[in-house]
Amino acid sequence: MAERVGYMNTGAFANFTVSRTGVLVYGHESTEANRLVLVSRDGKQSPVGAPPGAYRMPRLSPDGTKVAVAHADAHSGNMDIWVIDLVRGIPNRLTFDPATDVFPLWSQDGKQIAFGSYREGAPGLYGKAANGAGKEEPLLEAQSGRGQASYDWSRDGRYIMYMSLGTRGGPDLWVLDLKERKTAPLLATQFNESQGQFSPDGRWVAYSTDESGHYEINVRNFTGPVARFQVSGNGGAQPRWRADGKELFYVSPEGKMMAAPVKASAETFEWETPVALFELRALAGAAGSGPQGYFYDVMPDGQRFVIIERAQGDTGEPLTVLTNWQARLKR
């Protein structure tokens, strides 16, 4: 019925939807070059010196001097992990495996990078020295049919939060205990939960969920009896904490960067009404920005953001509409 449909290996997310009235809409494959930019809280942009490329899923180092990204090869479309020095603008390739490598994470000391990969023909989690030395170390064995995306690494280095497809096919949030080498579900419901982020003190988790019928930002405690709060009021995705835990950022459905001041302790969580910092309309459609991916990260001080910007002149990936597609099956 259609060829070259947009597809993301991690979690097997394809870019199409179908209605009950016989209309099929799909997006196309894209390895278009984009670029990384730094954006201040007032929306002013400054370019990162790295060359344009098909960048996905940026993640800043703890000191804010480097960013790890998944980068798609312009010819094969295969993704590897690259590390870009934001001061010098120099990119260095970290992984070289022919399998897809995505969703990089930094350890708190900046010496290790964890990432998701399809090394064994199924999604698993791996780790490698951030300077590129040595081989990858398997952190979580590949699990067929359970697409995994590494979302966050706790500041104490013990836990990695990741997405795993549940038995019903939607994303759930799981936690890998690196000390005990055990996994356990944190959020596994009939709804879609993704993009989990540990608070800097490790006591709280921010995540996106469609429990209300559309994606909102929720916060819950990591351990103990569940206490849960909805921070966003009119939709949201891609939560990020400021390094001191005093602000929570996310992206609104209208393409605005939102910030909510936060006061949290071991027992209580309070937040103020989120405010819009700047518009992201030209940026928010960057690939990898769906309810499972992300297209930005925030500097430790919360004053600047590293964001994937669309290729110059790109107004969005094209969509194709097929009507009466069922008739094609009878040919």
Distance, in Å, from the CA atom of 91 to the CA atom of 83, rounded to the nearest integer, reads 6
Q: 244: which 2 tokens?
A: 């001191």
Higher model confidence: residue 283 or residue 80?
80
Amino acid at 287: A
Residue 116 lies in a domain: yes
Please say whether the beta carbons of 132 and 151 come within 8 A.
no
Q: 185: which 2 tokens?
A: 């579900």
CA neighbor of 60 nearest in space, from 98, 105, 12, 122 = 105
Helices (H), the chain: none
Give the CB-side neighbour count of residue 272, counting CA atoms within 13 A.
10
The DSSP bridge pattern shows strands 45-47 and 148-153 to be unpaired
- Residues 266, 160, 289, CA angle at the centre, nearest 5°? 100
Distance, in Å, from the CA atom of 51 to the CA atom of 303, rounded to the nearest integer, reads 24
Please say whether the beta carbons of 178 and 195 come within 8 A.
no
Higher model confidence: residue 32 or residue 179?
179
Q: What digits encode the pLDDT tens for the residues 83-134?
A: 999 988 889 999 999 888 999 999 999 999 999 998 877 788 999 999 999 9
Residue 2 lies in a domain: no
Residue 220 lies in a domain: yes
Higher model confidence: residue 123 or residue 210?
210
The DSSP bridge pattern shows strands 256-264 and 247-251 to be antiparallel
Residue 1 lies in a domain: no
Residue 47 lies in a domain: yes
Residue 282 lies in a domain: yes
Q: What digits encode the pLDDT tens for the residues 222-276?
A: 988 889 999 999 999 999 999 999 999 999 998 899 999 999 988 899 999 999 9
Q: 229: which 2 tokens?
A: 């709060």
pLDDT of residue 280: 82
The β-bridge partners of 297 are 306
Residue 160 lies in a domain: yes
First-to-last C-alpha distance (Å) of the chain: 11
pLDDT band at 291, cuts 50/70/90?
low
CATH number where 212 lies: 2.120.10.30
Asked whether residue 285 carries a pLDDT value surpassing 50, the answer given is: no
- Whole-model pTM: value is 0.86
Residue 155 lies in a domain: yes
Supply the range of the domain harboring residue 239: 7-330
Backbone angles phi, psi at 327, to 5 degrees: -65, -25
pLDDT band at 29, cuts 50/70/90?
low
Q: 30: which 2 tokens?
A: 């894209």
pLDDT of residue 327: 81
Kind plus residue range of the DSSP H or E element containing 66:
strand 66-72
Distance, in Å, from the CA atom of 166 to the CA atom of 191, rounded to the nearest integer, reads 10
Number of structural domains (the chain) is 1
The DSSP bridge pattern shows strands 171-177 and 182-187 to be antiparallel
